[in-house]
Chain A
Amino acid sequence: MNAFDQPQNILVLGGRSDIAHAIVRQLASPALRSVVLAHRGGDTIELNGVDDSVAVQCVPFDATDRTAHAAFVDGIVAEHGDIDIVIQAFGQLGGPEVNTDPTAAGDLVDVNVAGAVSSGLAVAAQLRTQGHGVLVVLSSVAGVRTRPSNFVYGATKAGQDAFATGLGHALAGSGARVMTVRPGFVRSTMTEGLNEAPFSCDPGDVADAVVAGLRNRKSVVWAPGVLRYVFAVLRVVPGFVWRKLDS
């Protein structure tokens, strides 16, 4: 990190994420040396809008292979040095069956919660060792109050979100930080074909919020920012209203 908090090395867990790409583009500067895009296949992913001098590396990463996470982070550090920013961007939406099929729901929990927790702890250990660095966790407003139409997904996001904010507190004083990001509906590859919810935005809008949050050392950011107030209300509206809003 330099005086402008411009990172040198960025690790993206969930390297296909449109939001993560937008964040990396915003954080790119002459200081940036490497971006590691970690995702299930490990095959090459195009990352647009980043200078040719930046080394973009794609590596295989399996969120459910929990025993491998610590060694995975060590390997990245051995190759690139200290990691300034880690973006935890993986996660699945799940099909309609996750709300009824125990196995499918369990699989979703494996990725979105167990994977987030174990990879998050592996990253936290490294950031603690470095005495600096930020773990940016892409949570969702879906976890703030779970909706009947996607309550299992919402539950996984609630789990990931609670873990992230708790980890942030646990890391206080270590120099390492966690920033939990709660976007609303984002128009991206992940949500293609779904009906847009109110206050929807683009990956670039989320990236703007993330970069501003990093600059101001926020622990939680919402995207768009107005959702903080919208959900302050939605969180407490009576159940029958909440159900009505979801239908």
Chain B
Amino acid sequence: MKTEQRALTGWGRTAPTVGTLVRATADELSSDAGLSATVGARGAIARGLGRSYGDSAQNGGGVVVKLVPGADPIRVDHDAGLAHVDGGVSLDVLLREIVPQGWFVPVTPGTRFVTVGGSVASDIHGKNHHADGSFGAHCTRLGMLMADGSHRSITPGSDPDLWWATIGGMGLTGLITDVTFRMIPIESRHCVVDTERVPNLDALLEKMETSDHLYRYSVAWIDLVATGKHLGRSVLSMGNHASLDDLRELRPKAVDNPLDFDPTTFPDVPNGVPNVLNRLAVRAFNELWYRKTPKQHHGTESLTGFFHPLDMVGQWTRLYGSGGFLQYQFVVPFDAVDTMRTIVARIAAEGHASFLAVLKRFGAQSGGFLSFPTPGWTLALDLPAGVAGLGRLLTELDELVLGAGGRHYLAKDAFATPEVVRRGYPQLAEWKKIRNAADPTGVWVSDQARRLELV
């Protein structure tokens, strides 16, 4: 076990707090000199790669555990199509191991740099949510380090309450040490992708409704700077994993080594860069992104290009300068599509520099008490944190979202209030009961949990 005092923030680089960062394996943590000897009155929380945008994986004055993978962190059961993976393993490392063996993760977010433990704790979703659901829906077993220091293995059948309180439970029921989940078989490291420019929001909503079922993956990038008749103009991208037959037709050169997977990344953005993602730059970027997209395109893209384009630039959030940024993501039910229209119009009218806003249709819930995805439309947008008047706008949007029966994504949240979460997550009280039973002394706690009164 290694410990150090460190100032930590989420991916948005706002609201830092100092905690004791402990790097240890699951075995070290469950030993007598482990968790129980380290954790004091301020409790502990797990931290993966720090990709939650807000304060979910920091714990001011307390312990922050960075789980070090064990001796055999990735085990693949080819017959059952199952992966047994240590919680601290990143999807990047995992994909490098399993893609060449013909497997893909059941769910990937827009970055490979999240851990498997974090994927469960945030019950992450990806472009295939409308078809496959969230990460938790594909898990069959969890290894957990409980508040009392014991190491348990649970399944949805053995401990249904604890299971569904842990899926999307933000690490507040226990530390997720290892996960067993179903993988997706693939024939190649490519996707067959249809990309299309859509001139406005109404056309987009209709297009997604009518064609989502034809594709496993679908997402729309919306230009939230465009107004008037261009309001909600988008680039819609929909795809499926490419089979060998697809490759023969579309990319014959890739047929010989269809599963080669070695994504490269460019150097990090250096620290201390001023905020270059200002209104003007974002407007220009959005314009360019829209214009560079052909009206309609059918072709192949690599897994990296299709799923993780931003991973090519390390530490890209530094482009927001020292003020940091926040991401605002919510979902509203399908029947509240008018609310989504209102919100898009409201953001566009306000003219804030929103870079890379993403719209997606969610499918079925996983069943996690605090799991975010629920059937409906979800919108995620990035905003620089230092902008005046942003708080007022977001509070106004909060009301619209909650009024329509929607909610906000805790892994992205850095702004919500206890009231907003209470209203968005009707099962919060039930979750708290289960959580308190699993952790009666309140060992697991984060800055976010305190801020939102989750514990």
- Hey, which bits of chain A sit against chain B, CB under 8 A? 1-6, 8, 29-31, 81-82, 128-132, 173-175, 215
Question: Closest CB-CB distance, A41 to chain B, in whole Å?
Answer: 32
User: B385 touches which one: A3, A29, A173 (CB < 8 A)?
Assistant: A3
> Which residues on A sit within 8 Å (CB–CB) of B19?
131, 175
User: A3 touches which one: B17, B62, B326, B395 (CB < 8 A)?
Assistant: B326
**B18 and A132 contact, CB distance less than 8 A:** yes
User: B451 touches which one: A2, A5, A130 (CB < 8 A)?
Assistant: A2
**B17 and A131 contact, CB distance less than 8 A:** yes
Nearest CB to that of A126 among chain B residues? B61
**B15 and A2 contact, CB distance less than 8 A:** yes
**A82 and B391 contact, CB distance less than 8 A:** no
- Hey, which bits of chain B sit against chain A, CB under 8 A? 5, 7, 12, 14-19, 42, 54, 59-62, 324, 326, 385-386, 390-391, 395, 414-417, 447, 450-451
| Complex CA distance for A173 and B20, rounded to whole angstroms | 12
**B451 and A3 contact, CB distance less than 8 A:** no
> Which residues on B sit within 8 Å (CB–CB) of A174?
5, 18
| Complex CA distance for A3 and B326, rounded to whole angstroms | 7
| Complex CA distance for A160 and B60, rounded to whole angstroms | 28
> Which residues on A sit within 8 Å (CB–CB) of B17?
130-132, 175
Of A2, A3, A31, A175, which is in contact with the most chain B CB atoms at under 10 Å from its CB? A3
On whether A8 and B451 interact (CB within 8 A), knowing A2-B415, A130-B60, A130-B61, the answer reads: yes
**A175 and B390 contact, CB distance less than 8 A:** no
User: B391 touches which one: A1, A6, A129, A132 (CB < 8 A)?
Assistant: A6
What are 16 A-B contacts defined by CB distance under 8 Å? Answer: A2-B415, A3-B15, A3-B324, A3-B414, A5-B14, A31-B415, A82-B450, A128-B61, A131-B18, A131-B59, A131-B60, A132-B15, A132-B17, A132-B60, A173-B7, A173-B18
User: A4 touches which one: B5, B16, B385 (CB < 8 A)?
Assistant: B385
| Complex CA distance for A1 and B7, rounded to whole angstroms | 15
> Which residues on B sit within 8 Å (CB–CB) of A128?
61
Question: Closest CB-CB distance, A169 to chain B, in whole Å?
Answer: 16
| Complex CA distance for A131 and B20, rounded to whole angstroms | 9
Of B12, B19, B414, B451, which is in contact with the most chain A CB atoms at under 10 Å from its CB? B451
Question: Closest CB-CB distance, B355 to chain A, in whole Å?
Answer: 16
**B391 and A81 contact, CB distance less than 8 A:** no
> Which residues on A sit within 8 Å (CB–CB) of B324?
3
Of B14, B17, B42, B326, which is in contact with the most chain A CB atoms at under 10 Å from its CB? B17
> Which residues on A sit within 8 Å (CB–CB) of B326?
3
| Complex CA distance for A111 and B324, rounded to whole angstroms | 40
**B450 and A81 contact, CB distance less than 8 A:** yes
| Complex CA distance for A155 and B408, rounded to whole angstroms | 53
**B16 and A132 contact, CB distance less than 8 A:** yes
Question: Closest CB-CB distance, B13 to chain A, in whole Å?
Answer: 9
> Which residues on B sit within 8 Å (CB–CB) of A30?
391, 395, 417
> Which residues on B sit within 8 Å (CB–CB) of A31?
415, 417
**B18 and A3 contact, CB distance less than 8 A:** no
| Complex CA distance for A6 and B447, rounded to whole angstroms | 14
| Complex CA distance for A57 and B14, rounded to whole angstroms | 29
**B7 and A5 contact, CB distance less than 8 A:** no
> Which residues on B sit within 8 Å (CB–CB) of A6?
391
Nearest CB to that of A32 among chain B residues? B417
| Complex CA distance for A215 and B14, rounded to whole angstroms | 11
**A3 and B14 contact, CB distance less than 8 A:** yes
Question: Closest CB-CB distance, B8 to chain A, in whole Å?
Answer: 9
| Complex CA distance for A131 and B391, rounded to whole angstroms | 25
Question: Closest CB-CB distance, A85 to chain B, in whole Å?
Answer: 13
Question: Closest CB-CB distance, A2 to chain B, in whole Å?
Answer: 5
**B60 and A175 contact, CB distance less than 8 A:** yes
Nearest CB to that of A4 among chain B residues? B391
> Which residues on A sit within 8 Å (CB–CB) of B15?
1-3, 5, 132
Of B59, B60, B390, B395, which is in contact with the most chain A CB atoms at under 10 Å from its CB? B60
**A175 and B14 contact, CB distance less than 8 A:** no
Question: Closest CB-CB distance, A127 to chain B, in whole Å?
Answer: 9
| Complex CA distance for A191 and B350, rounded to whole angstroms | 43
> Which residues on B sit within 8 Å (CB–CB) of A131?
17-19, 42, 59-62
**B16 and A2 contact, CB distance less than 8 A:** no
> Which residues on B sit within 8 Å (CB–CB) of A82?
60, 450
| Complex CA distance for A174 and B447, rounded to whole angstroms | 16
On whether A129 and B385 interact (CB within 8 A), knowing A30-B395, A174-B18, A175-B60, the answer reads: no
Of A82, A128, A131, A132, which is in contact with the most chain B CB atoms at under 10 Å from its CB? A131
> Which residues on B sit within 8 Å (CB–CB) of A173?
5, 7, 18
Nearest CB to that of B12 among chain A residues? A3
> Which residues on B sit within 8 Å (CB–CB) of A2?
14-15, 54, 414-416, 451
Nearest CB to that of B14 among chain A residues? A3
| Complex CA distance for A128 and B15, rounded to whole angstroms | 15
Q: Contacts A3-B385, A130-B61, A131-B19 given; 14 further ones with Cβ under 8 A?
A: A1-B451, A2-B414, A2-B415, A2-B416, A4-B14, A6-B391, A81-B450, A82-B450, A129-B61, A130-B17, A131-B42, A132-B15, A173-B18, A175-B19
| Complex CA distance for A4 and B16, rounded to whole angstroms | 11
> Which residues on B sit within 8 Å (CB–CB) of A215?
386
